[in-house]
Homo-oligomer: A and B are copies of this chain.
Amino acid sequence: MSSPIIITILTDFGIRDGYVAAMNGIILGINRNVTLVDISHEVPPRDVGHGAFVLGTTYQYFSPDAIHIAVVDPGVGTSRRALLVITPGGRFLAPDNGLLTYVMRAHFRPDTGDTSTGAGFMEPVETEVPRGCSAYELTEREYWRHPVSDTFHGRDIFAPVAAHLSLGLAPEKLGERIGEVSCLNIFPHARRGDILEGRILFVDRFGNLATNVRPSQVGANDLEVEIGGTRVRGLAVSFAEGEGLRVLVGSHGYLEIAEKNGSAALRLSASVGTQLTVRAAGARPAG
């Protein structure tokens, strides 16, 4: 028996109601020899941005042949497409609503990806599939569970398709190749001199605030973040040193704002989309 393929599942289904278990059962019924891993099932209901961030900051810790199912799907049963996206870092099954934003972004070339689109923050934008990746619209009903519920494609489409993929089915069998998929607009909006205008991308369980600014974008340790009238200077190393608010490089690789023994989100009344500025006191990146 060959080494089992890993199938991960991310949803907003919670774990009270058995929806995730149904997906597990369907998968194991088609291929018993898989390793199932939960990414998260507590994505806030219908919060595609949260699910996209969690998936995009987690999948790289898994083998590139892993299959990742992501279902945060308020449009289930409408004409939104169901996707298979294959990247050098993993295979992804998800509705076409922005859930794969961070997965795709990792493969954009800088000259095509990192531009403003005119869309508002976190709004979906049709985006070209990056070079080295491929995308398919799932249309072949032969690999689905029937009857297909209009409200639970996780169980009836994504789970069985993942199981068939794990058995070695070629992606071309699942549907037509497509050239564009939806991505959320998560890019910084403007740079004014040495000031970068950013946003909060993600709030974790501890109330830590991940921004959409990477340390390399400001290029200096002597930075100053302003958010909601509050200024935080310098780059801290840990959650524990000193007191109060601090900016540090979070485990996701973004600048992150945290509060010692507390919640920066509560302290700053901040949430996803809250604006901030980052000033690199000791550096003026080419603007």
Contact = CB atoms under 8 A, between A and B. Distances in A.
Interface of A: 3-4, 6, 8, 10, 13-26, 28-29, 32, 35-46, 50, 54-55, 57-59, 61-63, 66, 74-78, 149-152, 155, 204-206, 237-241, 248-251, 256, 258, 261
A39 B18 contact: yes
23 contacts: A3-B32, A6-B25, A15-B40, A15-B42, A16-B205, A17-B40, A18-B40, A18-B54, A19-B204, A21-B37, A24-B61, A25-B37, A25-B62, A28-B37, A28-B63, A46-B261, A74-B240, A74-B261, A76-B239, A77-B238, A150-B237, A150-B248, A151-B256
A186 to B, nearest CB: 16
Contacts of A3: 32
Nearest to A15: B42
A88 to B, nearest CB: 16
B45 A206 contact: yes
Given A28-B35, A42-B16, A63-B28, A152 B77 contact: no
B149 A251 contact: yes
B32 A35 contact: yes
A241 B205 contact: no
Contacts of A77: 237-241
A75 B206 CA distance: 14
A151 B248 contact: yes
Contacts of A42: 14-16
A251 B58 contact: no
Given A63-B28, A76-B238, A239-B151, A38 B17 contact: no
Contacts of A152: 251
Contacts of A251: 19, 149, 151-152, 155
Q: Is the interface of A mostly helix, strand, loop or mixed?
A: loop
B54 A17 contact: yes
A148 B205 CA distance: 21
A39 B44 CA distance: 20
A73 to B, nearest CB: 9
Nearest to A47: B16
